[in-house]
Amino acid sequence: MLKQCEGSHAVAEAVALSRPEVICAYPISPQTHIVEGLGEMVKAGEIKDCEYINVESEFAAMSVAIGSSAAGARTYTATASQGLLFMVEAVYNASGLGLPIVMTVANRAIGAPINIWNDHSDSMSQRDCGWIQIFAETNQEAADLHIQAFKLAEELSLPVMVCMDGFILTHAYERVDIPTQEQVDKFLPPYSPRQILDPAAPVSIGAMVGPEAFSEVRYLAHAKQMQALELIPKISKEFEEIFGRNSGGLVRPYMLEDAETVVIALGSVLGTIKDTIDEMRADGISIGVLGINSFRPFPVSAIRRALSHAKRIVVLEKSLAVGIGGIVATDVRMALDGLDKRIYTVVAGLGGRNITRSSLHRVFRMAMHDQLEALHFLDLDWNIVNKEVDRERTTRRSGPIAENILRDLGQTKSNVG
Amino acid sequence: MNKPFAITLNVGSSLANKTGSWRSFRPAYVNRLPPCNNACPAGEDTQGWLFHAESGDYEAAWRHLTEANPMPAVMGRVCYHPCEGACNRGQLDSAVGINSVERFLGDEAIKQGWKFAAPAAETGKRILVVGAGPSGLSAAYQLRRMGHQVVIFEAGPLAGGMMRFGIPKYRLPREVLDAEVQRILDMGVEMRLNTKVEDLLKTMKEEKFDAAFLAVGAHIAKRTAIPAAESAKILDAVSVLRSMEGEDKPMLGRRVVVYGGGNTAIDVARTAKRLGAEEAIIVYRRTRDKMPAHDFEVEEALQEGVMMRWLSTIKQVGEGAIQVEKMELDENGKPVPTGEFDTLEADSVILALGQDVDLGLLNGVPDLSFEDGVVKVGENMMTGYPGIFAGGDMVPSDRTVTVGVGHGKLAARHINAWLAGTTYVKPPKKELATFEKLNTWYYTDADKTVRPMLDIIRRQSTFDEVQGGLNEDNALFEARRCLSCGNCFECDNCYGVCPDNAVIKLGPGKKFEFNYDYCKGCGVCVEECPCGAIKMEAEAS
C-alpha cells in the first residue's frame, strides 16, 4: 500500500511485518523514530508475540539481542554513531557467534567534535566486524532491505546491518509502498535457528578457543560472507517476484554501458549523482554511476565486471580513513587490481554537509579531464583550513580547532566564547 | 545437534579450582535482633510475625504473634507501641504501623474464629492466677499452653481488669475484649468471677495449688487532701471509669474538672465529654510537655474539646466552683506556688492522681517485701515466698497493658521451670540490628498507612471506637513496609551479587547457605544485604 510517510516509519512498518520476536534498543538520533514507532506498535498489540525490551545502553541492547537471538528469537535493534561505537564489543560477538540479528544503522558522523548529522563514519568503523552491511538508497529500499535482511541473516546465520542515511532518509517524508503481511509471510518463513538452546542438553557458546582453532573459525566467518555474495542477488530476485520491484542486490549500475567515467557511491547520495549524470549525459558526456548495495561482503567480482569498460573511477564517499583517504576507494582499488584505470577518491558530505549537483558537476568534470587530485575533499574551505594551520604553526596555545573554525566563520554560537 | 565449529562447545567447568582456599574472612548468615522486638514489653517477635503477614498468611502471622501475646486485637488498640518508636523505618520515612497490623490480625482472628490449640499433654500441676487483667490472662494462657491446670480468681464481676474498668469503650470495644478473653478460657482455663482471695495461703492450701501468680492490679484511687465544702462533689477517676461499665452512669454535671496529668486523667475527661459535659477541664500542676499522658491522647482530647489548665493546683473545692492556684516552674522544672488564685466553675471534680494496690490478700504471707506500695519480685517474677509469683501493676512497672502481658508470659516461664525444679534462663540477647546495618537504598519508598479516625462530632457524643482499623489491602501494604531488620527475607540479593556462585538457594522459606568451597570471602553479599542478615567473620588461622 502506498503511503506518504517518514523513512523511519516505513522501516518500523517493514520490521513489524517481518514478525520480530524481540526488539531491544536504546534511543539515539537519528535512529530513534524507528524504535519509537516499533515500541508503540508493540504496546498497541499490533505486533504479535513480540517483546519490546527497554535497555539502559547500546551495549545492553546488543547484549540482549545476542541473548534473545541465541535463544531462538527473531531479534531486531537499531542504533547510530556513538551508540554503535558503544556496543562494538557485543557487535563483534554477535557475528562471531553467528547470530542472525538485524540492526538498522541510521548513519551519522562520529565525534569529536560531536555532530549529529549524516555521514558514513559510524558503520564504516565496523567494516571488519563480521556483519553483513547493506546500504539503502531510498526510503523504499530501506524498508525493503529490512525484510530481505531477516531472510539473509537467518539463511546464513549471520547478523545484518542495514545502513540508511541519517536524517536524509530517516527523517524524510516520501512515498513508500508498504507491503502486505501476506506478501511478507510468503517471502520470509518463520525463523528456524541453526542451533536451539535446550536446558536438557547444556552447551557453552562463545567460550575460550585457543590458537588451535581460532584461525579456522575466522576463515569460516569469511567463507560465510562469501556465500552471501551469491545469496544477496538470489534473495533480491525472490523479493522482486513477490513484491514486484527491484531492491537490494550487490551493486546497482546506472548509465554504465560505454561510460568512460564511472562514479561509485553508497546510499542516498546516489540520487543526486544520478540527476547530475542525467544532466551530463544530456551534454554528451560519457559518465555513469555504480551504486554499491552490499558493502560487506564487498562484491569484488561484480564491481570488476561492471567497471571493465571504464577508464577512470571516481569513488565518492561519506567517510574518511584519516591518514590514508578513502575507505570504499581502497576496496575498489583491490577489486580493480591489475587493471589500468585511474581511481579518484572524493571525500564528501562529512558531518551532514550538503552535496550539491553543482559541486558534483565540477569534480566529475575535473576527473574527466584527469585534473582531479587522487584524494579530493569536496567543497573544502581552504581559507579556513589554512588559517588554522597557520595559527597552529605560529601559536603554541592555539586552542580547540572546531571552535577556532566557527569563530573564523563568524558563527559564534552561544557556547563559543 | 550439529554444533557450529569452535563456537558452541561442550560445557566445561572450573569447579576443580576451590577458590574458597583463598579466603581470610567468611560471610555467615545471622539473625540479629530487630529494634521492634527489642522494644516490645510483651516480648513479641514483631518482625517474625510481620514476615508471615507480608505474604498474606494472616493465620500464620497471628499464630506466631500469639506465642507471646494472646490478645492482639486488644493490644492493637491500647498498646502505646514502643516498637514503632524503635522501628528503623522511622529513620527512613515513617515507622511501620506495627500496631495497626497487629489489630488487623487480632480482628481477623475474631472474624475467622481462629482458636488456640489445646496443650499437647497435661502436667497435672495446678496453678492459681489471681486477677483477670492483662497480666493474669497472659500468665493463664501461657501456663495452659504448657499443660498446667489454671484457675483464675477474679474479684470483679467480669474479666479484663483495667482493660474493662479503666480503658474507655471508645478505645477498646468490649466485644473485642470479650472475644479474646473467651478464647483463652476455651483452652480449658477456669475462671471464677466475683471471687476475691482474702487469704492467699489458705486458698492455695484448700484448693491444692502448686503455685500462684498474683496480678490484682492497682485500682485504689490515690487521694489528696483538698479542703472541700460539704456539698462539693469529688469523685475519683477509677470509680468513674468503673461505673461506666455498670447500669448507672455517673452523674458529673455540666462542668467537670479533672485533676491530674496521666492517661487516666485524659480518659476520664474524654468520657465526661461524651457523657454530655459542656466543659471538661483538666487541671494539671505542670506543663503539657511534662504530662505523663501520651501526647497523641492529649491531642485527641483537645480535638474533642477537652480543655487544659496547665500550671495549676486545686486549693479548695466549693459548691459549683473551685479555687485554683497558679504555679510556675523553678529552674529545676519543679512547680512552685505563685500565690495567685483563680476560680473555676465546676459541678464535679474528678481526681486522677494515680492508683494504689490492694495488698489485702497477702496478709499472713511471710517473707514478702514491699516498696512504694507494691510487691517486690525477683528477676524470675517470684515474690519472697517460694511458689508465689506476681506481675502487672502490683509490682514495680510502667503499668501498661503491654507490660502486664509481658510479665504474665515471663512469670509463666519461670513458674513452669520452678515447678519442674529447674530455672528458666532467658536466651542471650542477639546483637541489635541497628539502622547502620541496613542498606535502605534497596527498599521501595512507601508512606505509612494512616488508620481512619471517627468523625469529630461522633467522638464528642458517643462511645464509638475512635480509631478505625486497616483492611486487608492496606494491612498487607503496611506489613510489607517492614524492612526485616537483621533477618533474611529471601530477597536473593546475596544470591545475585555473589561473583563465585557460592550462595546456595535452599528453596522458598529455607533461605540460603554458603558454599565455602568457592566463597572467596569478598564480602559483597554482606555489603549488599538490605537487612543486615550477613556478617563477616575472620577465618580461624
Length of chain B: 541
Kindly state whether residue B13 falls inside one of the protein's structural domains: no
Kindly state whether residue B60 falls inside one of the protein's structural domains: yes
- The residue in chain A having the minimum alpha-carbon distance to the alpha carbon of residue B2 is A195
**Domain containing B403: what range?**
126-218+357-419
Residue B338 CA to its chain's centroid (Å): 40
**Count of beta carbons in the 10 Å neighbourhood of residue A258:** 9
Cβ-nearest to A195 among B4, B6, B11: B4
Q: Are residues B49 and B109 in the same domain?
A: yes
Of A190-204, A300-314, B271-285, B412-426, the one with minimum mean pLDDT is A190-204
Give the 3-state secondary structure percentages of chain B, helix then strand then coil, rounded to 5. Answer: 35, 20, 50
Q: What is the mean pLDDT of each run of 10 residues along chain A (417 residues)?
A: 96 98 96 97 96 96 97 97 97 96 98 94 97 98 98 97 98 97 97 88 88 93 96 98 96 95 98 98 96 98 96 97 96 95 97 97 96 96 93 89 84 52
Cβ-nearest to B1 among A195, A209, A214: A195
Per-residue pLDDT band at B456 (split at 50, 70, 90): confident
Confidence at residue B540, expressed as pLDDT on a 0 to 100 scale: 85
Backbone angles phi, psi at A363, to 5 degrees: -70, -35
Element (H, E) at A203: strand A203-205
Q: Which residue has the cell 549524470?
A: A277
CB contact under 8 A, A209 and B11: no
Question: Taking CA A354 as the corner, what is the angle to CA A349 and CA A355, rounded to the nearest 5 degrees?
Answer: 70
What DSSP string describes B491-535?
A: --HHHHH-TT--EEE--TTT-EEE-TTT-----HHHHH-TT--EE
Q: Are residues B72 and B168 in the same domain?
A: no
Inter-residue contact B180 to B160 (CB < 8 Å): no
**Count of beta carbons in the 10 Å neighbourhood of residue B478:** 25
Residues B467-496: pLDDT tens digits?
A: 889 988 889 999 999 999 999 999 999 999
Torsion of CA B117, B120, B123, B125, to 10 degrees: 0
Residues B177-226: pLDDT tens digits?
A: 999 999 999 999 999 999 999 999 999 999 999 999 999 999 899 988 89
Inter-residue contact B41 to B400 (CB < 8 Å): yes
Length of chain A: 417
Inter-residue contact B97 to B449 (CB < 8 Å): yes
Cβ-nearest to B5 among A96, A203, A216: A216
Q: Are residues B259 and B341 in the same domain?
A: yes
Q: How far apart are CA B435 and CA B431, in angstroms?
A: 13
Q: Residue B478, SS3?
A: helix
Closest CA–CA distance from residue A75 to any residue of chain B (Å) = 20
How many CB pairs below 8 Å do chains A and B form together? 45
Which residues in chain B have their CB less than 8 angstroms from residue A196's CB?
A: 1
Kindly state whether residue B11 falls inside one of the protein's structural domains: no
Confidence at residue B225, expressed as pLDDT on a 0 to 100 scale: 86
Kindly state whether residue B427 falls inside one of the protein's structural domains: no
Give the 3-state secondary structure percentages of chain A, helix then strand then coil, rounded to 5. Answer: 40, 20, 40
Candidates A156, A203, A218, A222, partner chain B, best to mutate (most B CBs within 10 A) = A203
**Count of beta carbons in the 10 Å neighbourhood of residue B341:** 13
CATH number at B524 reads 3.30.70.20
Inter-residue contact A24 to A68 (CB < 8 Å): yes
CB contact under 8 A, A205 and B10: no
Kindly state whether residue B498 falls inside one of the protein's structural domains: yes
- Say if residue B263 is exposed, middle or buried (CB neighbours under 10 Å; 0-12, 13-18, 19+): buried
Is the pLDDT assigned to residue B23 strictly greater than 70?
yes
Is the pLDDT assigned to residue B2 strictly greater than 60?
yes
Cβ-nearest to B8 among A205, A213, A220: A205
Domain boundary among B314, B338, B355: B355
CB contact under 8 A, B7 and A202: no
Domain boundary among B308, B337, B355: B355
Conformation bin of residue B504: beta by default, left when phi > 0, alpha when psi is -120 to 50: beta
Candidates B1, B5, B7, B13, partner chain A, best to mutate (most A CBs within 10 A) = B7
Taking residues B323-330, report their average pLDDT: 93
Question: Could you tell me which residues come within 8 angstroms of residue A259 by beta carbon, excluding any fewer than 6 positions away?
Answer: A286, A287, A288, A309, A310
List the alpha helices (DSSP H) in A294-356.
300-306, 328-335
Residues A27-71: pLDDT tens digits?
A: 999 999 999 999 999 999 999 999 999 999 999 999 999 999 999
Q: Are residues B342 and B276 in the same domain?
A: yes
Residue in B260, B174, B170 with CA at minimum distance from that of residue B221: B260
Kindly state whether residue B533 falls inside one of the protein's structural domains: yes
Kindly state whether residue B260 falls inside one of the protein's structural domains: yes
Backbone angles phi, psi at B441, to 5 degrees: -50, -35
Inter-residue contact A164 to A174 (CB < 8 Å): no
Q: Are residues B249 and B333 in the same domain?
A: yes
B→A contacts (Cβ < 8 Å), by residue, are 1-12
Confidence at residue A415, expressed as pLDDT on a 0 to 100 scale: 52
Interface predicted TM-score (ipTM):
0.73
Closest CA–CA distance from residue A194 to any residue of chain B (Å) = 8
Q: How far apart are CA B26 and CA A324, in angstroms?
A: 58
Confidence at residue A413, expressed as pLDDT on a 0 to 100 scale: 53
Q: Are residues B83 and B137 in the same domain?
A: no
Cβ-nearest to B10 among A195, A203, A214: A203
Residues A288-335: pLDDT tens digits?
A: 999 999 999 999 999 999 999 999 999 999 999 999 999 999 999 999
Residue A336: C-alpha distances to residues A257, A328, A329, A382, B502 (Å): 17, 12, 10, 32, 59
Q: How far apart are CA A251 and CA A306, in angstroms?
A: 9
**Count of beta carbons in the 10 Å neighbourhood of residue A115:** 17
Q: Are residues B363 and B414 in the same domain?
A: yes
Q: Residue B45, SS3?
A: coil
Kindly state whether residue B133 falls inside one of the protein's structural domains: yes
Confidence at residue B1, expressed as pLDDT on a 0 to 100 scale: 52
Q: Are residues B241 and B211 in the same domain?
A: no
CB contact under 8 A, A96 and B7: yes
Structural domain tally of chain B?
A: 4
Task: Give the pairing type, strands B211-214 and B388-390.
Answer: parallel
- The residue in chain A having the minimum alpha-carbon distance to the alpha carbon of residue B9 is A204
Backbone angles phi, psi at A303, to 5 degrees: -70, -45
Domains in chain A, CATH or no CATH each: 2-197+205-243 (3.40.50.970), 251-377 (3.40.50.920)
- The residue in chain B having the minimum alpha-carbon distance to the alpha carbon of residue A209 is B6
Residue in A365, A387, A384 with CA at minimum distance from that of residue A376: A365
**Count of beta carbons in the 10 Å neighbourhood of residue B63:** 17
Q: What is the CA radius of gyration of chain B?
A: 28
Cβ-nearest to B6 among A194, A203, A216: A216
CB contact under 8 A, A195 and B3: yes
- Mean pLDDT, rounded, of chain B: 94
CATH number at B211 reads 3.50.50.60
A→B contacts (Cβ < 8 Å), by residue, are 96-98, 157, 194-196, 201-207, 209, 213-214, 216-217, 220
Residue B521: C-alpha distances to residues B251, B444, B499 (Å): 74, 29, 10
Question: Could you tell me which residues come within 8 angstroms of residue A84 by beta carbon, excluding any fewer than 6 positions away?
Answer: A58, A91, A105, A122, A123, A125, A126
